[in-house]
Amino acid sequence: MFIIFGKVTFYMGVLEEKIKNHIRVIEDFPQPGISFKDFSGIFQNSELSNEVIQSLASHARGKVDLVCGIESRGFLFGFPLALALDVPFVMMRKKGKLPPPTVSETYQLEYGEATLEIIENQIQLGQRVLIHDDVLATGGTARAASNLIEKVGAKPVQYSFLIQLNFLQGLKNLKSDVEVISLLEFQS
């Protein structure tokens, strides 16, 4: 962002712009009031997909021992990111999808609650963990993910997203001592 003569001007980097050009915004999907950001267009472009992975990796190289991807869209870039960093990958899934033994964390949604699980012993004590998801919306999911990482004695060190929805103020819900990386921000 640049500030010129008191006027705030948003400067968009080359990669940001390319990503934005591959995102489709669908209003009122999957329910009224939601502005859905569909990034599946990025997968149509292997060069851009690679650039996304390399960019996410450049922010994490040397800082993390493991990548944890959140079901389901967090697996899409999460696993290649782990490969690029040459570290293990762990799937964090919704309740009942993973075989036992599992460790879980339940969190509140606007209506009701949800539970995230990982397979026990896939994350070791003290490991520095990158939590990856496609979109940071209210931050409830990512926060629960970091609580689960801490529950097994590991340390969340980076939240990594493709897209951050600033208007939902998800940053407020995240752990304040964990770095946040988002490649593209939406103001609405």
- Binding residues for ligand AMP, rule: CB under 6 A, are 34-37, 70, 73, 133-142, 165, 170
Q: Could you tell me the smallest distance in angstroms from the CB atom of residue 58 to ligand AMP? A: 23
- Tell me the one-letter amino acid at 109: L
- Chain-centre distance for alpha carbon 150: 17
Q: Is 73 a catalytic residue?
A: yes
Catalytic entry in 16, 73, 150, 185: 73
Q: Could you tell me the smallest distance in angstroms from the CB atom of residue 84 to ligand AMP? A: 21
Which of 62, 138 has the CB closer to ligand AMP? 138
Q: Could you tell me the smallest distance in angstroms from the CB atom of residue 140 to ligand AMP? A: 4
Q: Could you tell me the smallest distance in angstroms from the CB atom of residue 64 to ligand AMP? A: 20
Count of CB atoms within 10 A of residue 6's CB? Answer: 5
DSSP 85-154: HT--EEEEEETTSSPSSEEEEEEE-SSSEEEEEEETTSS-TT-EEEEEEEEESSSHHHHHHHHHHHHTT-
Helix and strand counts by DSSP (H, E) for the chain:
4, 11
Q: Is 71 a catalytic residue?
A: no
What is the rounded CA–CA span in Å between residue 42 and residue 14?
Answer: 15
Question: Contact at 8 Å (CB) between 22 and 45?
Answer: yes
Which of 40, 124 has the CB closer to ligand AMP? 40
Which of 9, 188 has the CB closer to ligand AMP? 188
Which of 28, 153 has the CB closer to ligand AMP? 28
As annotated, the active-site residues are 73, 110
